[in-house]
Amino acid sequence: MTRSTRQRERTRETDETEDQEGVRACPECESDNLVKDSDRGELICEDCGLVVEEEKIDPGPEWRAFNHQERQEKSRVGAPTTQTMHDKGLTTTIDWKDKDAYGRSISSKKRSQMHRLRKWQERIRTKDAGERNLQFALSEIDRMASALGVPRSVREVASVIYRRALKEDLIRGRSIEGVATSALYAACRKEGIPRSLEEISEVSRVERKEIGRTYRYISQELGLEMRPVDPKKYVPRFCSELELSEEVQTKANEIIEKTAEKGLLSGKSPTGYAAAAIYAASLLCNEKKTQREVADVAQVTEVTIRNRYQEQIEAMGIHG
């Protein structure tokens, strides 16, 4: 018997939930493959079809919504707390709609009063210079993260790193922008979404040299365990920008793996190493790109690509 998609949506019970409810296995066939049918409030064995429990209490909201807009309108809770805002998103804001609770427009006298209230609300959100600086730093992290196109998780990690640096008093004597940029660079590495110092410095208001120096200092002081960046993580992005095929991407990863096993990667820039492997792979797969094109995408020099390329083809036993 077929059921509608909504009715067939079932969520597998976690071990924790099963332990709380006291049901670990089906009493009929002793299978632990139990699923929950939220529509009927039943716990069912997926193997033999036995209804193990019925009339279960639904812990969800009492209202129903069929799309995102309805959910937003009916929800009575705010957004979750976040480290990317100086107050963690816990303060209130006064809406700019200039309407009352019934959706009616308010009078001009009330509008000017609300304008003054909003102005003071913005002012009192930061109680001192320290909070204002934190607000500025976190907005800088958000701006740079948007420009780099990194996910929300990286912004959260960068904000946590900056807050830790602030707590340990590592910002004294350094620019707020420099520490914020270094925190973002560290977060990118920690989350496995590598961005080179050149890419970071392009969206920052700080020079590359200062970013590198500040990054080394805060990572050492905060004990951030950073593994060397794997050049293979740059390959998909560089290949996409160069409009190269999957075949070239696979070949480039193969070159990196084989040459890294022979110790060629030690002490080399991961971006330059990845760029050289992509250049070599493009030649081997007859999708030739010039050294200049690859160098521009990877933000390295043509000399770096030539040197790494020669080392890689020699290690692979290919005669160019």
pLDDT in tens, the chain (320 residues): 444 443 434 444 333 344 444 557 888 888 888 888 777 778 888 888 888 888 777 667 777 788 888 877 777 777 778 888 887 877 777 878 888 878 888 899 888 999 998 888 877 777 778 888 998 999 999 999 999 999 999 999 999 999 999 999 999 889 999 999 999 999 999 998 888 888 899 999 999 999 999 999 999 999 988 888 889 989 999 999 999 999 999 999 999 998 888 888 888 889 999 999 999 999 999 988 999 999 999 989 999 999 999 998 888 877 65
Whether residue 113 sits in one domain with residue 158? no
Chain position carrying tokens 């210079």: 129
CATH of the domain at 282: 1.10.472.10
Give the containing element (helix H, strand E) for 42.
strand 42-45
Domain count, the chain: 3
Non-local CB neighbours of 305 within 8 Å, separated by 6+ positions: 272, 275, 276, 279, 291, 294, 295, 298
Whether residue 244 sits in one domain with residue 215? no
Q: What is the three-class DSSP state of 180?
A: helix
Beta carbons of 226 and 190 less than 8 angstroms apart = yes
Q: What is the pLDDT of residue 272?
A: 92
Non-local CB neighbours of 150 within 8 Å, separated by 6+ positions: 188, 191, 193, 195
Containing domain of residue 218, as a range?
Answer: 129-222
Give the containing element (helix H, strand E) for 34.
strand 34-37
Q: What is the pLDDT of residue 158?
A: 95
| In a domain? residue 135 | yes
Whether residue 158 sits in one domain with residue 209? yes
Domain's final residue, options 198, 222, 246: 222
Tell me: is residue 29 an annotated ligand-binding position.
yes
Tell me: is residue 188 an annotated ligand-binding position.
no
Tell me: is residue 239 an annotated ligand-binding position.
no
99 bridge partner residues: 105
| In a domain? residue 295 | yes
* DSSP secondary structure, 133-175, as one string: HHHHHHHHHHHHHHHHT--HHHHHHHHHHHHHHHHTT--TTS-
Domain's final residue, options 173, 201, 222: 222
Put simply, whether the predicted model's pTM sits higher than 0.95 gets the answer no
Q: Where are the alpha helices (DSSP H) in 235-290?
A: 235-242, 246-261, 270-284
Tell me: is residue 285 an annotated ligand-binding position.
no
Q: Which of these, 230, 221, 225, lies nearest to 179 by C-alpha position?
A: 221
